[in-house]
Structure formats: C-alpha cells, structure tokens
Amino acid sequence: MPETPPKDLRYAEDLRREGKFQEALNVINNIEKKRTFTPKDQLSLLILKGKIYTLFQNYIESIKVGETTYKLSQGLEQIPDIIMSLLFKANCVFLGQADQAMEHLLEAEELLNTLSDVSPTFISRQKGNILFRKSWAFFYQNDYKNALETAKICLEIYEKFNKKTEIAYTLQIIGFIYETQVQYEIALEHALKSLKLFEEVGDPIGTATTLLLIGRIYYLTGEVNKALTFCKKSLSTGLISELDKTSAYTYIGLIYNTKGELERALRYFKRGFSLAEKNNFYGAFVNLQILIGAIYIQKREYKLALEYLKPGLTLSKNTNNILGIGLSLAYQGLICYEQDSKSELQEIIDQLKEFSEKYNDRFLIAEYNMAKAMMLQRSNRSRDRAEAEKLLKQAVKNPSSPDIYIFSLANLCEFYLEELKLFNEPNILEEIHPLITQLLEFSNEQNSYGTLATAKLAEAKVKLIQMDFNGTKKLLTEAQKIAELHGYKLLAQKISSEHDNLLDQIKSWEEFKERNAPIEERLELASIQGVIERLQGKRAIDPPEIVEEIPILLLIMDESGNTFFNHSFIENWDFHDLFSAFMSAFNTFSGEIFSKSIDRIKIGENTILINPIESFLACYVIKGQSYPAQQKLNRFTDALKNNAEIWDTLNKAVRTSEMLELNKPTSLGVVINDIFA
C-alpha cells in the first residue's frame, strides 16, 4: 500500500499550529479520501485529527478518535500513541464525566512511567497533558484542593517549555477553580492573564472560553453589564465551541433573568437548550430545561413551565442528577402551591422525601423541608402553621445554597405577612424587620445587587405599612440608586414608579395615619406581596409603561437656596408660587437632599427632581413619570461637572452673584438643547 506523503501531514500539522483547525481537518479529510493507508499512516492521521478536535473543543469527536486510535496503537504496540489515545478518551472530563476520565488518565500515567526509550521532553510534556486533564477531573469531582495543586504543577511544566497556549489553558482552569471557591479577584487575575496569552498566540477558541470565564466572574460579582459585554464578546469570536456557545447562551440568559428582562432571557435559554439537545450535552440540557421552566413560572404560564420541568425531572432521575431532581421537583411544588393543588403538592413532597433518603443529600433534604413547610403554611390549623414556621426558620439557620436561603427568608416574610393580615397585630411587623436585614446583608455579601435593591424595596414597604413616610421615601431612593448603579434598569424603573405612586397616594396614607387604619387596608395599598413574590422567584417585574415627562423648569441652586440659573420650558409661565412652595420644602428637607436620601418632591401636580453636585443642586420640575426625566437630569449634572466652561462660569457666579443664561456660557444652551429638546 502506498504511504501518505510526509509533506501532506506536515502541511496539516502546520495549519494546526497556526490555529487554522478547519483548514487542517479539510487537508486530512482529502488525504483520507484519496489514499489507502498502512495502519501506521492511519494512526498518524487520526492522532493529528484527534489533536485538532481537542483544540477545537469538539470533545465528542476527539473521544471517538481516541477509541479508534487506542485499538490501533495497541495492535502496533506503540505506547506513546496509546498514551495519546487515552488523553483523547479522557476528554470526556470536559463533558462532566470525571470518574471515567480519571480511569483513562491513571492508565496513561502507568504507561508513561514504563517508557525509557523516549526523550525527557516528551515525558514532561505528556505529564503536563495528563495533569491538565486530572485537574479538570478533580474540579468536576468538587475536589478543589487537588484540582488547584495539580493545575499549579501542570503550569510549572508548561512554563518550563514556554508553551504559551498550554499555559493559557492552565491559567484558565486555575481561574475556574478560584471562581468556584468564591475568590473572584484571584480568579479574574488568572483569567485576564489567560486572555492576554490567547490573544498573543491567536487562539480564538481559547479566547472565547476565557472571555466567557471573565463574563461569569463579573456576573457572580454583580457587575451584570460587564458580564453581558464579555459573554456576548465570547459569542462573537466566530470559532467558539458548541459547548462554550451553550454556556454563553445560558449565562446571557441568566444575566437577563437577573435584570428582569424575561423575554430576552427566554430567547437565550432556548438557543442554549437547542444546542445542548443537538450535541447531547446532558448536564446543560437538564439545567436549561429547569431554567426555562423557572422563567415560565415567573411569567405565570404554569402549563408551559411543566412542559420543561417534567421531562427535566425524568432525565435527572435517569442520570442520577441530584441537583436536577431537586430543582425540578421544587419548581413543580411551587406551581402546585400557587395553584392550591394540595394533593399534587403532597405527591411532590413524597418524591422529595424518597430521593432525599435515597441520596442522603443536604440539598434534597432542604427542598423536602421547604415543600413540606409550604404545604403546612396552607393549613388553617395553628399546629400546622407553627410547624411550618419552625421548618422555615431551620432553613434560614442552615441553608444548603444561596438560592434556598433567599427563598426561605422570603417565605418567612410571606408567612408573617399572612399572620399580620389574619390577626391585625402591628407588632408582627417586628418579626419581618430582622429577616429583611438578613436579606440585605446576605445579598450584599453575595454581590446580588438585584436582590439587594428588591430587599430594600421590601423594607420600604414595611416602613410604609408602619406609616413612616419619610423613611419609606429614603429607602425607595436608596433602592433605585442600587439598581441603577449595578445595571438593573428594569428594576430601577419599577422602583421609581413605586416612588411616584407613593407621592400620588400620600394624602390617602396621611388619612390612614390620622384614623389609624387597619393593617389589612395598609397591606392592600402598600402592595408588598408582589415584592415578596419577586424575591421568591414566583413573579417577574411588571415594568411600567415609560412615558416622556412634560418639562416645566430647570434650576441650578446652591446649598443656601441661592439660584444661579433657571430656564422655563413653557413660555410666559409664572413659576413664583411653585418656587415659593419648593423653597419651603427645600428648607425642610435640605439635609436629606444634599445627603442624596431624597431625590424628588411632589408639589401639587408637579414633581421636582433633585440631583446634588458638590455644593450645587440641579432641579428639574416636571409633570408625569420621574424615571425618564431623572435620566436627563443625571446627564445634565454630568455635563455641568465635565464641561469646563460651564463649571468655571458657575463657580464664578457664586463669587459675583451673577445669573447664568441659556447662551451664557454658550455651551450651556447646547447641553440643554441636546438633553432636554
């Protein structure tokens, strides 16, 4: 049989080294079509193909190559090639099959130790390749200590040979380990080093994976806009693997879900779901089934939710996926609870009990206790409700996961709100305050800023029920600022709308306070239940329709109330009465205004939005919704400070008592027309 010309293999190998993986595969496929091979030639071609599939992160194909080359190399008694075949087979680790991968790697190690007639360089490099995969195997076995130690030894080997691509991939796994251990700063440091190396060697696939890792880290540290940027950049690299693409879709979906943009989240989850199904990524497939089901629960489309959750449960049972079993059952239990289907909820509880006993798993036990508490909470018997309260408190005291902790705290809040409604006893509110404090502290520690802002909104609602109106306004302002600062635009809009509603309803609340209205009336007007349900993951943000405001007046003042600029958006409009009312409010609230704890004041039909900037105060008088107007006022105050001509003129006006005019300085009129026109 004719041999394959060495130059063909060298050309394919050169293409591989240049990162032109598809071109290299095309060359190999053409060679295979045109020639008949000796077993040795076939083995050489397949091993090159296996290397390319591995670099391409097409692990399913590389594993298939490994199976074939393992048999061929054994027949030829080529131990180095057997080791390479085992490395291909061990790529199953990247599909989450850690135990099976470890078996292949231990066999490869034993064979490597028998070699004495090969170069020390070959031995060291293959040792690095084995350690790299072992690190991932330890990682998937949740043995992070051994994963990190193994990766660091692997890194030393690759650094010795200055193998930049291998160094980059090892820094990447170290980044993943630190991320999982919640050491985000160190994880980001390794990920950025990895990214720099991948960009330097021109490896788009490694670049895509590391961009995704950086996006994950930013997501977990609460910087959702940065997370979104890096995850989308990962997708745009072009040569992203199907596995990483599935992961990117999942994380982008999670980011949009966190931001409350459910339709966008659903689109990305479904894209990931289709890819996972096509490529048999079973872990990702189940995870996405559950995530899609959870979205439909928030949308209150329970039938659609069950269409994903029930198959997810079946597959989880078949693959002994404990997390999938627990979450699928828990979400189905939540649907039964919302639909008041007690018999079906009891079936869910029985299944959770069965699986928690079978696996003796802390997470499943927690889900079982939570479902049982929900069932007892529906009872009218005091004994059952007392047992429900006990179970919820235990879940808060010994949480098995962050999500269960938040859900348990929110459920306890719901429990006490029900008690409050039943017994009209204001002292029950004192049971809720510490729970919200725990929510605030925990969400801050976890960098979960959407939950933090929502918990702050819940705290504002409790203050409102207690008829502490100034405290409520301050908390609403704080909640909105948290949401805006961390990129939760939809939530910020909702909180701003809640603040506007309070100002519109303030006369009703003052009347409630005067006659000491029953708790039931206060609960209904405060609408706290919706906030608690969002914390429980049972309801989506119901965003207000954004309508542009009617602009009336723009002011710049100092701390003493001296005006340096005023511009009316309405011709021949006399603002003296309004200004007099505002100055009265300003004198009352000046401390809160300059401490930024109050951002709006309602006077008649008009709302005055306030934005302090150093020793000055920018005020925007409007009719209508505050949120779109606030965005303009924020842009205006940024422009005041960043435009040297305006800022210098304003500070000069303090000394000379001169008034600024629309075109004096000229840039002031340009800024106002650009922002408010």
The reply to whether 588 falls in a domain is yes
Q: Which residues pair with 611 in a beta bridge?
A: 618
pLDDT above 60 (res 445): yes
Q: How confident is the model at residue 96 (pLDDT cuts 50, 70, 90)?
A: confident
Range of the domain at 466: 410-544
Q: What is the reported pTM? A: 0.86
Say what the pLDDT of residue 4 is: 45
Tokens, residue 473: 């306004």
Tell me the CA end-to-end span of the chain in Å, nearest whole number: 81
Helix axes 98-114, 120-140, angle to 10 degrees: 160
Say what the pLDDT of residue 574 is: 63
Better-scored residue on pLDDT, 397 or 257: 257
User: What are the DSSP calls for 316-333, one per residue?
Assistant: HHHTT-HHHHHHHHHHHH
Q: What is the DSSP letter of 246?
A: H
User: What one-letter code names the amino acid at 96?
Assistant: G
Dist CA 153 CA 616 (whole Å): 58
Q: In terms of domains, do 657 and 599 share one? A: yes
Number of domains in the chain: 3
What CATH number does residue 72 fall under? 1.25.40.10
Tokens, residue 431: 């049971």
Q: Which residues are within 8 A (CB) of 283 and not within 5 positions of it... i.e. 6 or more apart? A: 95, 96, 321
Helix (H, G, I), strand (E, B) or coil at 660: coil
Cβ atoms of residues 675 and 647 within 8 Å? no
The reply to whether 299 falls in a domain is no
Give the end of a domain, one of 489, 522, 544.
Answer: 544
Mean pLDDT, residues 56-60 taken together: 84
Q: In terms of domains, do 21 and 148 share one? A: yes
Q: What is the DSSP letter of 664?
A: B
Sheet of strand 563-568: strand arrangement: 563-568, 550-558, 616-623, 606-613, 600-603
Q: How confident is the model at residue 117 (pLDDT cuts 50, 70, 90)?
A: confident
Dist CA 266 CA 299 (whole Å): 11
pLDDT above 70 (res 6): no
Question: Omega before 204 cis (within 30°)?
Answer: no
Poorest-pLDDT segment among 109-113, 440-444, 568-572, 585-589: 585-589
The reply to whether 213 falls in a domain is no
Tokens, residue 617: 């105060």
Dist CA 155 CA 166 (whole Å): 8
Calculate what percentage of the chain has a pLDDT beyond 70. 94
What's the longest Cα–Cα distance across the chain?
Answer: 102
pLDDT above 90 (res 225): yes
Say what the pLDDT of residue 1 is: 35
Q: In terms of domains, do 525 and 504 share one? A: yes
**What's the CA angle centered on 315, arms 314 and 317, to 5 degrees?**
65
Q: What is the mean pLDDT of the chain?
A: 90
Dist CA 610 CA 590 (whole Å): 11
Q: In terms of domains, do 627 and 514 share one? A: no
Q: In terms of domains, do 499 and 564 share one? A: no
Q: In terms of domains, do 114 and 21 share one? A: yes
Whose structure tokens read 């005055």? Answer: 608
**What's the CA angle centered on 443, arms 140 and 210, to 5 degrees?**
40
Q: Is 544 exposed, middle or buried (0-12, 13-18, 19+ CB in 10 A)?
A: middle
Better-scored residue on pLDDT, 583 or 454: 454
**What's the CA angle centered on 95, arms 92 and 98, to 5 degrees?**
60
Cβ atoms of residues 457 and 477 within 8 Å? no
Q: In terms of domains, do 436 and 469 share one? A: yes
The reply to whether 404 falls in a domain is no
User: What are the DSSP calls for 553-607, one per residue?
Assistant: EEEEEETT--EEEEEESSTT---HHHHHHHHHHHHHHHHHHHTTS--EEEETTEE
pLDDT above 60 (res 414): yes
Q: Which residues are within 8 A (CB) of 570 and not within 5 positions of it... i.e. 6 or more apart? A: 552, 553
What CATH number does residue 574 fall under? 3.30.450.60
Dist CA 622 CA 414 (whole Å): 37
Say what the pLDDT of residue 543 is: 78
Q: In terms of domains, do 440 and 491 share one? A: yes
Dist CA 473 CA 460 (whole Å): 7
Say what the pLDDT of residue 24 is: 76
Each residue of 480-524: pLDDT tens digit?
999 999 999 999 999 999 999 999 999 999 999 999 999 989 999
Q: In terms of domains, do 533 and 570 share one? A: no
Say what the pLDDT of residue 575 is: 61
Q: In terms of domains, do 565 and 511 share one? A: no
User: What one-letter code names the amino acid at 263?
Assistant: E
Poorest-pLDDT segment among 87-96, 210-219, 573-582: 573-582
The reply to whether 310 falls in a domain is no
Q: In terms of domains, do 563 and 517 share one? A: no
Helix (H, G, I), strand (E, B) or coil at 2: coil
The reply to whether 275 falls in a domain is no
Give the end of a domain, one of 115, 140, 161.
Answer: 161
Dist CA 289 CA 40 (whole Å): 45
Mean pLDDT, residues 391-398 taken together: 89
The reply to whether 652 falls in a domain is yes
Each residue of 153-190: pLDDT tens digit?
999 999 998 989 999 999 999 999 999 998 999 999 99
Q: How confident is the model at residue 2 (pLDDT cuts 50, 70, 90)?
A: very low
Better-scored residue on pLDDT, 333 or 49: 333
Q: Which residues are within 8 A (CB) of 64 and not within 5 positions of it... i.e. 6 or more apart? A: none
Give the end of a domain, one of 524, 544, 564.
Answer: 544
Q: How confident is the model at residue 576 (pLDDT cuts 50, 70, 90)?
A: low
Q: In terms of domains, do 446 and 559 share one? A: no
Each residue of 317-341: pLDDT tens digit?
998 889 999 999 999 999 999 999 9
Of 546, 563, 550, which is closest to residue 619 (Cα–Cα)?
A: 563
The reply to whether 169 falls in a domain is no
pLDDT above 80 (res 577): no
